[in-house]
Amino acid sequence: MSTLVLTAHGSKDPRSAANAQAVAAQVTRLRPDLDVRLAFLEHSSPSLADVLTSTDGPAVVTPLLLANAYHARVDIPAQIASCVTTQHVWQAPVLGEDDRLVSVLRRRVTELGVSRLDDRVGVLVVAIGTSDLAVNARTGRVAPKLLAGTSWAGATTAFATQQQRSLTEALGRLRRQRVGRVVIAPWFLAPGLIPDRVERFAAKTGIEMAAPLGADRLLAETVLDRFAEATADQIAA
């Protein structure tokens, strides 16, 4: 059986690495028969290259990433290619806008005390963002999905690292809908430097911010599905 190499971006903020470790532990609890190893692309250790070169047998690099942006499309393939074991290494898809992850985000919003039946609520979904507009468009699907099963007045998307659809602009769009209560739903896996920036924006504008997705069981299940998808593709090939 292939090793699952759970590969996170990495951060200078230790909370990010701690969350990745918790996700890896959750994956192991769900699949104790599976060899699960954690790697990072930058800032944290061990690096992906170090993990791959120390792994015997085939491995599936399974990104702990939400969007199919630079790190998934360029950084991970380059690091795989730099290893001598590339003939036994495959890459799984990113987590994406999986309905299970959206349900976790919806739960994070309700944990603020927001009723799913409150039709005064407007939700500002905040993601990191990328220079790739097609990737941002895919991330934009999270906001309408989030409204499923609720009576919330609306949801819109902003990108914390891009001028396009900025936080201020997105907040203005919601307030023009005359919502009675705005909450921020962070489309982030973990606390970190960028989520902290969003939290400061929330405090400055007087709106509440939910917790990030975290090491939820549903996130671990999504990781395992991506691993299984890549494994099945290799068997079929």
Residue 236 has pLDDT above 70, yes or no: no
Average pLDDT over residues 31-49: 96
The rounded distance, in Å, linking the Cα atoms of 35 and 29 is: 11
Percent of the chain whose predicted confidence (pLDDT) is above 70: 95
pLDDT value of position 178: 84
Amino acid identity of residue 235, one-letter, is I
CA dihedral of 30, 66, 160, 43, whole degrees rounded to 10: 70
Range of weakest confidence among 99-103, 128-132, 218-222:
128-132
pLDDT interval class at 233 (50, 70, 90): confident
pLDDT value of position 106: 98
Question: What pTM did the predictor assign?
Answer: 0.94
Average pLDDT over residues 146-171: 89
Range of weakest confidence among 114-118, 166-170, 208-212, 216-220:
166-170
